[in-house]
Structure 1
Amino acid sequence: MSGAYAEVIGDPIRQSKSPAIHGYWLERLGLDGDYRATHVTTGGLADFIAARRQDPDWRGCNVTMPHKQAVIALLDQLDPLAARVGAVNTIVPEGGELVGYNTDVPGFLEPLRPLLDQPHLFRMGRVLGTGGAARAIIAALAGEGLVLVLAGRDPAKARALLDELDPAGDHHVTDLAHFAGPTDFAFDDRAGCFDLIVNATALGMTGHPPLAFDLSHAPPGSVFYDIVTSPLDTAFLRAARERGFRTVDGLSMLIGQADHAFRRFFGALPPRGPADDELRARLVA
């Protein structure tokens, strides 16, 4: 595999943890490959794809913001899941064609799988945010039978997103500000129910304003999931954990989606399980 490489593209790209993740797995497996971060602007996207088509060493790329939707028009095929989500985060050359995949969906669901594999009387997900990251999350949760409450600054955009991604679903929308103040809604004990609260916004991320979420909106037993990775332990997760709620951090999704991409790039299963602890230690060092 000498000379073989994959990469992640985006604008900006310097903050990406993907090279550290894939580099760790290549090192652990002893594979002779490379994984890089490449800055690609919106104006340079078409030229980048055209150039990589001609490179026999290129094994594909991950796609981050702002290219996950724009890149679709430059590909030859879409995996059915990527087509349903309307966003691509992984491109792989296959049989002379470029195929777009979405590994964000299985990556997001991976840490929830032990819970989702259990039977529930009712499943509800409160998803905060209507940006690019929300597309995969909405598609993932709708596919697992959750009724969604999608909160955004523009509820009309939230409704349009739900109608596009799961038109048959009985979902709801609200303004993001709805969750900022307290509620006196009396939740029952929610026995047999699964409740999930997801921050799919950039709020709480380093350099961004905090996410305003009052914990009175969380039913008993809720799971809090924040896709932000910097800082890894956000104020949203800390507040939930201090109140006894289960939490999932952004590295869980990031590592999970990278797993599915790595298999396609390098034809090998990445080391997981106990290796995840060492990988996490590297990523937060």
Structure 2
Amino acid sequence: MTRRAAITGYPVTHSRSPLVHGYWLKLHGIDGTYERVGVPPESAEAFYRDFASSGLVGCNVTVPNKEVAAQACDDLDEAAKAMGAANTLWLDEAGRLCGANTDGIGFLGNLDQMAPGWDENCGAALVLGAGGAARAIVWALLSRGIAPVYIANRTEQKAKDLAAHFEGDSKVLSWDNTGTVLENVSLLVNTTSLGMEGQPPLEIDLSPLPTDALVTDIVYAPLETPLLAAARARGNKVVDGLGMLLHQAVPGFERWFGVKPQVTDELRRLVLADLGIAP
């Protein structure tokens, strides 16, 4: 019987997830489909509570439904519990709805693939931004043993709230004081929209940053943001954000279809072509 999975949320019209999962389904010759299912916020709670009747074996969840989906689950993985949000759902053998948050896994998988060994002797990390993606990335870094993790956000209270959520080795910086820690940073992560197409640039003085520090941006349009271009020009290793999108999809596919797929150069080229971005 054909196994059906989907991207759910609202809107889902422009999601690239069907392209990614469709590529893997074809590559592995699996009898399955990956669809778009629009779930507006007003019907989200009912949809996820009654997920077993949807005909899907599982789904991804995008904005604005990640928190509602987590609340509907019978069981959550540690990341989803920590973040109060789930982006990957599946039904177990008993028909219970299970949820995971794979954003942090996607972030780490991207760095592991594109900058092997980045976490060996890694010192402090600086995360710019305090939204949902930042929360996943702070969790991921702390779970990998990176410490301290500094958090800087233009609205400082949001950074304080995020740091308080994780306690321990996460520390808050005011947006204007990021330069005070850059000389001690091994990893710089931008999770803000600054630098995206149509958005203002991220203005940060990289001169105190060690040239052996890794710089990454979760933005992938443009593929090389002004931050990454500036870091590359001064000799830093850089990693773009596309891999995070691809790696976060791996655990769901494995759950739903029984095969662990690989993130390959061919898949990257396929998604970049669909985005109209030159590799």
From 212, 218, 221, the equivalent of 1:227 is: 218
From 241, 266, 271, the equivalent of 1:278 is: 266
CA contact (8 A) 1:123 1:145 kept: no
Q: Give 1:115's aligned residue.
A: 117
Residue pairs, 1:84-123, within 5 angstroms: 84-94=82-92, 95-113=94-112, 114-116=116-118, 118=120, 120=121, 123=123
Provide the TM-score with structure 2 as the length reference.
Answer: 0.88
Q: Give 1:164's aligned residue.
A: 165
CA distance in 2, matches of 1:159, 1:184: 18
Q: Are 1:39 and 2:30 matched, yes or no? A: no
Aligned length: 268
Q: Are 1:211 and 2:209 matched, yes or no? A: no
CA distance in 1, matches of 2:201, 2:10: 23
Offset at residue 96 of structure 1 (A): 0.9
SS at match of 1:278: helix
Q: Give 1:81's aligned residue.
A: 79
Superimposed CA distance per residue, residues 55-76 of structure 1 (whole angstroms, 9 cap, x where no aligned partner): 3x41211112222223222221
Amino acid in structure 2 at the alignment position of 1:115: G
CA distance in 1, matches of 2:5, 2:188: 33
CA distance in 1, matches of 2:57, 2:232: 40
CA distance in 1, matches of 2:67, 2:207: 36
Q: Give 2:243's aligned residue.
A: 252
Offset at residue 261 of structure 1 (A): 1.4
SS at match of 1:213: coil
SS at match of 2:248: helix
Amino acid in structure 2 at the alignment position of 1:164: H
SS at match of 2:22: helix
CA contact (8 A) 2:211 2:235 kept: no
Provide the TM-score with structure 1 as the length reference.
Answer: 0.86
Structure 1 segments unaligned to the other structure (5+ residues): none
CA distance in 1, matches of 2:209, 2:257: 41
CA contact (8 A) 1:124 1:195 kept: yes
Cα 1:37–1:140, aligned 2, differ >3 Å: closer, same or farther?
A: same
From 246, 262, 268, the equivalent of 2:253 is: 262
CA distance in 2, matches of 1:65, 1:217: 36
- Residue identity over aligned pairs, in percent, reads 41
CA distance in 1, matches of 2:181, 2:110: 29
SS at match of 1:208: coil
Offset at residue 145 of structure 1 (A): 2.1
CA contact (8 A) 1:92 1:265 kept: yes
Superimposed CA distance per residue, residues 28-76 of structure 1 (whole angstroms, 9 cap, x where no aligned partner): 0011111122332221212322453213x41211112222223222221
Superimposed CA distance per residue, residues 159-183 of structure 1 (whole angstroms, 9 cap, x where no aligned partner): 2211212x222x321233444xxx5
CA contact (8 A) 2:182 2:209 kept: no
Superimposed CA distance per residue, residues 88-128 of structure 1 (whole angstroms, 9 cap, x where no aligned partner): 1101111211111011121111133332553x2x5111101
SS at match of 1:54: helix
Cα 1:38–1:175, aligned 2, differ >3 Å: closer, same or farther?
A: farther
Superimposed CA distance per residue, residues 232-275 of structure 1 (whole angstroms, 9 cap, x where no aligned partner): 22222122112221111111111111111110111112144xxx
Cα 1:223–1:270, aligned 2, differ >3 Å: closer, same or farther?
A: same
Amino acid in structure 2 at the alignment position of 1:19: P
CA contact (8 A) 1:8 1:38 kept: yes
Offset at residue 142 of structure 1 (A): 1.1
SS at match of 2:57: strand
Structure 2 segments unaligned to the other structure (5+ residues): 274-279
Cα 1:250–1:117, aligned 2, differ >3 Å: closer, same or farther?
A: closer
Q: Give 1:15's aligned residue.
A: 14
